Amino acid sequence: MKVHKHEAIIVGAGGAGLMAALYASKAGADVAVVSKLYPTRSHTGAAQGGIGAALGNLDEDQPIYHTYDTVKGGDYLTDQAAAKILAENAVDAVIELEHMGLPFDRTSEKRISQRRFGGHTRNFGEELVRRACHAADRTGHMILQTLYQQCIKNEVHFFDEFQVVDMIVVDGAVAGVIAIELGTGEFHIFHGKASFFASGGWGRCWSVTSNAHALTGDGAAIALRRGVPLEDMEFFQFHPTGIYRMGILITEGVRGEGGVLINSVGERFMERYAPSAKDLASRDVVSRAIYLETREGRSIKNRGYVHLDIRPGTVNRYFAEEGRDRNDFIDDATVERKLPDILDFCRTYLGVDPVKEPMPVQPTAHYAMGGIPTNVDAEVVIDAAGTVMPGLYAAGETACVSVHGANRLGTNSLVDLVVFGRRGGMSMAEFVKQADWKALPANPEGEIRAEFDRIRNATGKSRSGELRAKMQETMMENIGVFRTQETMQRGIDDLAELRERFYTDIQIDDKAHVFNTDLMEAWELGALLDLADVTARTAIEREESRGAHSREDFKERDDENWLAHSLISHDGVLADPTYTVSFDKPVDLSLWEEEIAQGLPEDKQKFRPKARVY
Q: What is the CATH number of the domain that holds 321?
A: 3.90.700.10
| Residue 284: domain span | 246-363
Residues 6+ apart with CB under 8 A from 368: 201, 202, 203, 217, 220, 233, 235, 236, 237, 397, 398
Angle at 180 between CA 178 and CA 181, to 5 degrees: 130
508 within 8 A of 456, measured Cβ to Cβ: yes
Number of domains in the chain: 1
303 located within any domain = yes
Give me the residues paired with residue 506 across strands: 462
What pLDDT digit, counting tens, does each position of 286-304 carry? Answer: 999 999 999 999 999 999 9
Catalytic residue among 283, 288, 423, 608: 283
| SS3 state at 35 | strand
What pLDDT digit, counting tens, does each position of 20-35 carry? Answer: 999 999 999 999 999 9
Q: What is the C-alpha to C-alpha distance for residues 192 and 438, in angstroms, rounded to an integer?
A: 8
Q: Name the maximum alpha-carbon separation found in the chain.
A: 72
For residues 319-329, give the mean pLDDT: 89
Q: What is the C-alpha to C-alpha distance for residues 393 and 376, in angstroms, rounded to an integer?
A: 11
What pLDDT shows up at residue 595? Answer: 52
How crowded is residue 525: how many other Cβ atoms within 10 Å of its Cβ? 23
89 located within any domain = no
Minimum mean pLDDT among 84-88, 123-127, 333-337, 565-569: which range? Answer: 123-127
Q: Helices then strands (H, E): number in the chain?
A: 18, 24
272 located within any domain = yes
What pLDDT digit, counting tens, does each position of 392-405 carry? Answer: 999 999 999 999 99
When pLDDT is cut at 50, 70 and 90, the band that residue 602 belongs to is low
Each residue of 159-170: b (16+ CB within 10 Å) or e?
bbbbbbbbbbbe
Amino acid at 88: E
What pLDDT digit, counting tens, does each position of 488-534 carry? Answer: 999 999 999 999 999 999 999 999 999 999 999 999 999 999 999 99
Distance from the Cα of residue 513 to its chain's centroid: 32
Phi, psi for 526 (deg, rounded to 5): -60, -40
Residue-by-residue DSSP string for 455-481 = HHH---SB-HHHHHHHHHHHHHHHSSS
When pLDDT is cut at 50, 70 and 90, the band that residue 608 belongs to is very low
When pLDDT is cut at 50, 70 and 90, the band that residue 603 belongs to is low
Residues 6+ apart with CB under 8 A from 434: none
47 within 8 A of 149, measured Cβ to Cβ: no
Q: Is the pLDDT of residue 430 over 80?
A: yes
Phi, psi for 482 (deg, rounded to 5): -115, 145
What pLDDT shows up at residue 594? Answer: 55
Q: Is the pLDDT of residue 600 over 60?
A: no
For residues 84-102, give the mean pLDDT: 96
Among 422, 371, 378, which residue's Cα sits nearest to residue 82?
378
User: With the C-alpha atoms ordered 570, 416, 557, 290, is the resulting torsion angle positive or negative?
Assistant: negative
Minimum mean pLDDT among 417-421, 466-470, 572-576, 609-613: which range? Answer: 609-613
560 located within any domain = no
Distance from the Cα of residue 277 to its chain's centroid: 23
Reported in sequence order, the residue ranges of 13-153 that DSSP labels E, i.e. its strands, are 31-35, 51-52, 114-122, 127-133
User: Torsion angle, CA of 538/539/540/541, rounded to 10 degrees?
Assistant: 50
Please confirm, yes or no, whether 131 is among the known catalytic residues.
no
For residues 435-439, give the mean pLDDT: 95
As a whole number, the mean pLDDT across the chain is 93
For residues 76-88, give the mean pLDDT: 95
